[in-house]
Chain A
Amino acid sequence: MSEVKIIEVKRSMLDDNDKDADALRKELRERGVFLLNLMSSPGSGKTTTLIRTINALKDKIKIAVMEADIDSDVDAKKIAKETGVHSIQLHTGGMCHLDAEMTRQGIKALGGDAELVILENVGNLVCPAEFDTGASKNCMILSVPEGDDKPLKYPLMFSVCDLVLVNKIDVAPYFDFDMEACERNVKSRNKNAKVIPICAKTGDGIDKFAQWILSEIQAWKENK
C-alpha cells in the first residue's frame, strides 16, 4: 500500500460557490442584468410584494422573475398572470436554498433581455443566507406576525441583506410589533441595512421599495 499523504487545505467549504457567484455577478454585469435576490420565511408575502412592485416598475424597466420552490409552480403562474412579465419556476428538488450554479441555470432558462431579474428564493431564513447566488443586491422580507426579534434569532440572514422590508404593517397593533425595536435589532446585525415598512396588501410603501430598486440599479450602472 502506498504512503498516506496529508494535504493541508484550510479552505471554506463554500469557497467554490463563492467563486462561482462572483463569476456569475461578473457575467451578469457584462450583460447588463441586475439580479435581486429576495429572501424571507414562507408566508411573509414575497409573491404579493413582488406583484405590486413589478406592476409599479414594469413600464420603466424590463423585468423577469425566477421563482424558486421545492415543488409546484403556483408562484410563477401567479406572477405571470398578475403582472404579465416573463416568469419561470425553479425546482430545487428538496434543497432548502439556491446556490450560484442553480441560479446560473435559471438565468439561462429564463433567456430574454430583462434588465432586472428578481429571484424569489426558497422561503427560509437560514440556508439561503449561506449561499451567495451571484445577486447584485440581497433583500429580505420580515413580516409583522413573525415578530420584531427575528434579527436576533437569524443573525446571518440580516447581516447579508442590503434591504429589509417589514411587511404587513397594517396588522402591527395586533401582534405587539415594535417597529423601533425591529429597526434597532436589524441595525445591531447590519448597520448598513436599510429598512422600509410596507403593506403588500394595500400597497403602502411599495413606491419606496420600487424607488430603492431603481436607485440601486442606477448606482450599479454608474459603478462600472
Chain B
Amino acid sequence: MHELGIVFHCIKQVNEIAAENNVTRVNSVTVEIGEVSTVIPYYFEDCWNWAVKKETVLKDAKIVIEQIKAVTHCEDCGKDYPTVEHGKTCPHCGSGNTYLLTGNEILIKQIEAY
C-alpha cells in the first residue's frame, strides 16, 4: 500500500536524471523489484500508470518491472536457499543464523529516452 509513495519518489528521480541528460521524452523506465521488498509489482504498475499522466517528460513512459528472486544465505552450513519458500530458517540444516542475499531491491535500473 506504500507503492504510490514509492512511485512518486521514483518519478522525482527519473525527472532529475532526465534533466541531467537533456532528455525531453522518456519512453520507458525499467525497475528491479525484489520478491520480498514488500512492493507488489501490479500495484506499482497501476500507481505508475496513474501518476505519470500528470507528468510532462514522463507522460507516456511505460514501466518495465523485473522481479528479483529472494535468496537467503545460511551462515552455519554456508548454503543458499529460496527465501519465499523457507523464510528465515535454513531448510538444509535448520539454523536461524541466516541473512538475505537478494530480494530486497527497489531499484531504478535504466531509462529509455529520446
**Interchain nearest-CB distance for A116 vs B (Å):** 27
- Whether A9 contacts B114 by the Cβ 8 Å rule is no
- Whether B38 contacts A156 by the Cβ 8 Å rule is yes
- Whether A11 contacts B108 by the Cβ 8 Å rule is yes
- Whether A126 contacts B23 by the Cβ 8 Å rule is no
Number of interface residues of B (CB under 8 A): 29
A10 to B109, CA, bound (A): 4
Point out the residue from A9, A99, A156 that lies within 8 Å of B109, measured CB to CB: A9
16 A–B contact pairs at CB < 8 A? Answer: A2-B114, A5-B21, A5-B113, A7-B17, A7-B112, A9-B108, A10-B107, A11-B107, A12-B107, A12-B108, A13-B9, A14-B6, A16-B16, A96-B5, A127-B2, A188-B88
A96 to B6, CA, bound (A): 11
* Chain B contacts to A: CB under 8 angstroms: 1-2, 4-6, 9-10, 12-13, 16-17, 21, 23, 27, 31, 38, 87-88, 96, 105-114
The size class of the interface chain A forms with chain B is 20 to 34
* Top 9 A-B pairs, shortest CB-CB distance: A127-B2, A13-B10, A7-B111, A9-B108, A13-B106, A5-B113, A8-B110, A11-B108, A2-B114
